[in-house]
Amino acid sequence: MQEILQNIQSPQDLRTLDKKYYAQLAKEIRAVLIKTITQNGGHLASNLGVVELTMALHLCFESPKDALIWDVSHQSYTHKLLTGRYAEFDTIRQSGGLSGFTSPKESMHDFFVTGHASTSISSALGLAEAQKIQGISQFSVAVLGDGALTGGMVYEALNNAGQSQAKLIVVLNDNEMSISRNVGALSRYLSKVRSQPEYRWTKLRVERMLRKIPLVGDGLAGGASALKRLVKRVLTHTTLFEDMGLDYIGPVDGHNMEELCAALESAKLTQRPALVHVRTVKGKGLDSAELAPEQYHGIARQDPEDAVQGKSFTDVFAEILCEVAEHDPRICAVTAAMSMGTGLERFKEHYPSRFFDVGIAEQHAVTFAAGLAKQGMRPVAAMYSTFLQRAYDQILHDVALQGLPMIFAVDRAGFVGADGATHHGLYDVAMCAGIPNVKVFAPSNTEEMQEILQKATKNDGVWVIRYPRDVAEMEHVPAAYSCEAFDLYGDIGAKTAVVTYGRLFYGTGKLHKKVCVCKLKQLLPVDQQAVESVMDCERVFFFEEGARSGGAGEHFALELLERGFKGEFKLTAVDGFARHASVEELLAEHGLNATGMEKLCEV
């Protein structure tokens, strides 16, 4: 029974709570997190790690007057519990329920829909500058993890913030993890900073003591702080953040409410943007999550019916890539902090010298891979579809324009379910469609994945191979006609044709007796023979698990039109942003499941 938590209807209730109950409240919150996320799926370890930090933020700031901006925001579950959403928290990530990320539609305490890393400082600074212009004296707080520091956008924002006098506070949640353990020089730098907390913590306490002196306290503290900074610059090396113009406070124990509140209150008294460095334990309060936080970053629903039966496309991709790399020393793999999610842990184990995890830095990952390709390697960049969006210019300018051979393994293509709008992989085809010299493929089973990936490693150009988080070992369906770019099924001479690709093909089974089904393996450029195969049809229905505008369906329709197609063409794809729900629910909602296809085709 959550005796304290159930009575917290708003942050104001938390601020009136006797501090002797803080530990019990934190315990109750963790119990709710574990129970709910185990049932519904979601991000467990990251949320367990920020319970006390979230409580301290709502104690020290007045949301929504003060804006709390969560980077990525998958760690905002405690924030939701403290801002009036306890009663419906058991609906999180369920169709029609709470989002697993912040959402302004849910609450005035959520300022942005966020699902990608390294963006919070930019948006928080923009809010703070607008408030300054409008004469509003409130704080804007960006809360980000240390994994986000590998994203270049953070430094663009910090560079800008260092010149600002806006009321911006950056809270760095340092748990040494993103999804996998953090890598690179910045991770080592934070380790060095963590080992020297005494000076900064003493400085914080002295400043707080001086500010308590009536009338002259703020002036004394400000003067002392400036003098300290001057002496420190002469005698010691400052932190990176101080060099960029921010006041640095920390490291602070992220599970000690007294230290957290003291640090945040001190940050509010600075005369320029401040950064509070907080150390937390990812998975705090659950032994198994603390020991293996990467395995508990995101967990699936604990329902046997939801278990993936058989190898996923991710598994198949990883196996084939390792097999190809064994015989081709040019093959190397690049990922952006997603070695586990993309299946590359296996490649890392077998070929460590040819494996590169660059951190949460998709733009850098692509251009870095371009450098590898220029020197004769054959890089395979494995990313989720939603994160590949962040590197559009690099694909166009640094890879395609240069004519470099490169393979993009685009995981989680199509609907992803409960993670919702920020994570659906619906835009990669349309994104790549406007880039010259890019080929886009969509295998629908293990054999096609193997065929396409092996050909990609042996040929020049940019190859994009997109696939869902789904079972790859589908039941074999014999084709009436097969070639490299597409297969034909059912009645080839029928006057009605269905064109589709990927996992949607397996919803066309009942149509095979009455229509011609064209399953595309190559989406772009549109294969002319595939177009020719349906030119004589009176009706052509194209079903696409992707964006309607600019997708494969529109390009296929254009080719038909230019060839003089006289029949009816109907495209069923995704318009706008899709909500969070199960993949099955979303396919049905958008008319992309078997029932929707059969109904539209009227057979």
From the CB of residue 345, how many other CB atoms can be counted at a distance below 10 Å? 16
Q: What are phi and psi of 582, to 5 degrees?
A: -65, 160
For 482, residues 6+ apart whose C-beta sits below 8 A from its C-beta are: 488
- Determine the residue type at 537: C
Q: Of 28, 52, 106, 362, which one is the catalytic site residue? A: 362
Are 168 and 140 contacting, i.e. CB atoms less than 8 angstroms apart? yes
What span, in angstroms and rounded, lies between the C-alpha atoms of 481 and 274? Answer: 65
Q: Quick one: which H or E segment has residue 573?
A: strand 568-574
What span, in angstroms and rounded, lies between the C-alpha atoms of 47 and 285? Answer: 11
Find out whether the peptide bond into 525 is cis, omega within 30 degrees of 0: yes
Q: Of 85, 200, 203, 390, which one is the catalytic site residue? A: 390
What span, in angstroms and rounded, lies between the C-alpha atoms of 355 and 348? Answer: 5
From the CB of residue 299, how many other CB atoms can be counted at a distance below 10 Å? 16
Query: For 458-521, what is the HEC assignment?
Result: HCCCEEEEECCCCECCCCCCCCCEECCCEEEEECCCCCEEEEEEHHHHHHCHHHCCCCEEEEEC
Strand pairing category for 406-411 and 522-524: unpaired
Q: Quick one: which H or E segment has residue 145?
A: strand 140-145
For the CA atoms of 310, 313, 318, 323, what is the dihedral angle to 10 degrees? 80
Residue 42 is classified by DSSP as: B
> Which parts of 244-378 fold into alpha helices (H)?
257-268, 287-291, 313-327, 345-350, 362-374
Q: Quick one: which H or E segment has residue 193?
A: helix 185-194
Q: Is 390 a catalytic residue?
A: yes
Token pair of 334 as six digits: 């690049």
Find out whether the peptide bond into 104 is cis, omega within 30 degrees of 0: no
Strand pairing category for 486-490 and 481-482: antiparallel
Are 210 and 217 contacting, i.e. CB atoms less than 8 angstroms apart? yes
Question: In terms of C-beta density within 10 A (0-12 exposed, 13-18 middle, 19 or more buried), how is residue 241 classed?
Answer: buried
Q: Is 272 a catalytic residue?
A: no
Q: Of 203, 282, 301, 378, which one is the catalytic site residue? A: 282
Are 266 and 204 contacting, i.e. CB atoms less than 8 angstroms apart? yes
Q: Is 378 a catalytic residue?
A: no
Are 161 and 246 contacting, i.e. CB atoms less than 8 angstroms apart? yes
What span, in angstroms and rounded, lies between the C-alpha atoms of 157 and 224? Answer: 28
What span, in angstroms and rounded, lies between the C-alpha atoms of 276 and 251? Answer: 7
Euclidean distance between the first and final Cα of the chain, in Å? 54
Strand pairing category for 378-384 and 406-411: parallel
Token pair of 358 as six digits: 């660059």
Q: What are phi and psi of 144, to 5 degrees?
A: -135, 155
Tell how far CA 323 is from the center of its chain. Answer: 29
3-state DSSP assignment of residue 273: coil
Residues catalogued as catalytic: 282, 362, 390
